[in-house]
Amino acid sequence: MGALLELEGVRCGYGQTRVLHGVSLSVGEGDIVSLLGANGAGKTTTLRAITGGLRWDGSITFAGRSLKHLGTEDIVRLGIAHVPEGRGVLTELTVDENLRLGVYLRRDSTSFARDYDRVFELFPILRERRRLSASTLSGGEQQMLALARVLLMRPKLVLLDEPSLGLAPMVVRSIFEVIRTINQTDGVAVLLVEQNARIALELSAHAYVLEVGRVAVEGPSSELKGEESVRRSYLGY
Amino acid sequence: MQEFLQQVVSGLATGGIFASLALALVLIYNAMGLVNFAQGEMAMFATFIALVLIDRGLNYWIALPVTLIIAFAGGVLIQRIVIRPVERAPVLTLVIVTLGLATLVNGMAGFLFGYVPHSFPTPFSAQTVNIFGALASYQDLGVIAVSGVVLVLIYLLLQRTTLGLALRAASHHPDASRLLGIRVSWMLALGWGLASAVGAVSGLLAAPILLLQPNMMQTVIIYAFAAAVLGGIESPLGAVVGGLIVGVTVNLAGAYVPGVGGDLQLAVAFAIIIAVLVLKPNGLFGRAGVRRV
């Protein structure tokens, strides 16, 4: 099966500073792939390049289609959901309004209600807080809101930028359970950027390790987890 | 007491005019983080368009919506042509651009329509009606009704429709909104169109009182600034409440404070701006400038 998302020799940066020096990676349909590496390795930049947040050279294709000249809105419309650093929750709006924006692009209005029910089943706390401003949610609840919105968007691929950042270990575990659910029951492919390499490798089938803008190591997660040298030099545990 | 009530009703009518223009300012402030100094001039120009339509024999109640549609389209066009190229420029650049736009629109109105004040028709009679012992003119009540309807429509659009939701999302969180597939740039243009239309309402309501000429809105916009600042510059509801408060305050001050009547009324608006900035910088409905990170 052809890859859903394919990056080849992607180079980009901010102004004069080059951050990615030719990154190649691929995510197959229904896969969970981890993108690991230290601070400043270019993980977030890779995700931003995919959804058109900055200009890049090289090639990025999604479902066989080049993303070269597409704006962020059009890339999202192809079926890529991106939960950015800071979770992309719209704190000026209520929880319910955030969820409604998840179905903003959808035209199949009949199945909304069912999806809403399902989201509230997965995240009962969001039903309780529906009418509250999203800014009143805790970090973990905001992350749940972001994931709930992804579920409503029904994407083919979701890009997650450090979903564990700043969350208590218990919360991290439940967040990752939800990611697994999204992947398994909805068949959504996941590209997961994480600092927490241990938990990311447990979830993903395949992993890439970035080092200063290049892929230093790649392979099945189970192998990367097992190799002492890789763990020591790149993953820090 | 009776006279006091009359002054309040008349203040509410003036306040409706301020509220409409203040709401226009707030809509654009939310979309790009700065006040559109050309808002009043755009409203004045739209009012001239209405006058042309009415002079051609169009009924007032047909000319009004037609003018608002033209004003909406004009606002969208101005955003696309003038503002969009500098959308990401520093605030100072944008301030200069809107000031330039104000001068341009003012000059164009002068060139096309001249500087002689035109009387502007009103659909409301000057007769009065007795409400709880106070005499209110149909003119004042009509102004209150028209601005009230427009403000409610805007509220429903922003709070009850998906389009309004996308508009609010795009203006507060452009980056996150793009990631949800919202066409942010078009939403900003829509915001400009909406603001232009709401502003035009204030122009049309002010013209029968002030007489229509290119500089008509230059004092009105200062009252509108005062109203927007009082309401908390980011809050549409605040702009409306602020507009009504400023309208009533200015009217009462003019009637009861010796020396304020007429020329010094504008000073009351400045006093309100300064008082708000000193005592409650976020206004009545504004959020404190702190954000969770």
Two tokens, residue A24 = 């190649």
Is A107 domain-assigned? Answer: no
Write the class of the CATH domain B2-279: mainly alpha
B92: contact with A, CB 8 A cutoff: no
Is A55 domain-assigned? Answer: yes
Amino acid B144: pLDDT: 92
Nearest chain B residue to A83 by CA: give it.
B179
Contacts of A105 in chain B (CB under 8 A): 180-181
Interchain proximity A73–B181, CB inside 8 Å = yes
- Full pLDDT tens readout for chain B, 293 residues: 788 888 899 999 999 999 999 999 999 998 888 899 999 999 999 999 999 999 999 999 999 999 999 999 999 999 999 998 988 888 889 999 999 999 999 999 999 999 999 999 998 988 888 877 778 889 999 999 999 999 899 999 999 999 999 999 998 888 999 999 999 999 999 999 999 999 999 999 999 999 999 999 999 999 999 999 999 888 889 999 999 999 999 999 888 888 777 677 888 888 888 888 888 888 888 765 544 44
Query: How far apart are alpha carbons A54 and A68 in whole angstroms?
Result: 11
Is A181 domain-assigned? Answer: yes
Give the gap in angstroms from C-alpha B282 to the nearest C-alpha of chain A: 16
Give the CATH number, domain containing residue A74: 3.40.50.300
Interchain proximity A88–B165, CB inside 8 Å = no
Is A118 domain-assigned? Answer: no
Q: Express each pLDDT in B99-146 by its tens digit.
A: 999 999 999 999 999 999 999 999 898 888 887 777 888 999 999 999
Beta bridge partners of A208: A35, A218
ipTM: 0.90
Is A115 domain-assigned? Answer: no
Two tokens, residue B81 = 């042509």
Contacts of A97 in chain B (CB under 8 A): 165, 168-169
Q: Which of B172, B182, B292 sits opposite A73 (nearest CB)?
A: B182
Amino acid B176: pLDDT: 92
Q: Which of A81, A82, A92 sits opposite B173 (nearest CB)?
A: A92
Are A209 and A217 within 8 A, CB to CB? yes
Distances (CA, A) of B291 to A92, A136, B287: 10, 11, 10
Query: How far apart are alpha carbons B150 and B197 in whole angstroms?
Result: 10
Nearest chain A residue to B169 by CA: give it.
A90
| Among B181, B140, B185, B148, CA closest to B162 | B181
Q: Residue A42: helix, strand or coil by DSSP?
A: coil
Q: Which residue type is seen at A105?
A: L
Is A120 domain-assigned? Answer: no
Are A120 and A126 within 8 A, CB to CB? yes
Contacts of A72 in chain B (CB under 8 A): 178-179
- How many structural domains is chain A composed of? 1
Is A58 domain-assigned? Answer: yes
Domain limits of chain B? Answer: 2-279
Nearest chain A residue to B160 by CA: give it.
A97
Sequence-ordered strand ranges (E) for A1-101: 3-14, 17-28, 32-37, 56-62, 65-66, 80-83
**Residue A94: DSSP 8-state:** B
Are B77 and B69 within 8 A, CB to CB? no
Amino acid B287: pLDDT: 66
Query: How far apart are alpha carbons B129 and B6 in whole angstroms?
Result: 11
Domain residues for A203? 3-90+155-235
Amino acid A237: pLDDT: 66
Query: How far apart are alpha carbons A124 and A118 in whole angstroms?
Result: 10
Give the gap in angstroms from C-alpha B166 to the nearest C-alpha of chain A: 7
Is A25 domain-assigned? Answer: yes
Q: Which of A71, A93, A105 sits opposite B168 (nearest CB)?
A: A93
Are A80 and A47 within 8 A, CB to CB? no
Query: How far apart are alpha carbons B233 and B34 in whole angstroms?
Result: 10
For B181, phi then psi, to 5°, come to 90, 10
For chain A, residues with pLDDT lower than 70 are 1-2, 109-110, 236-237
Nearest chain B residue to A80 by CA: give it.
B179
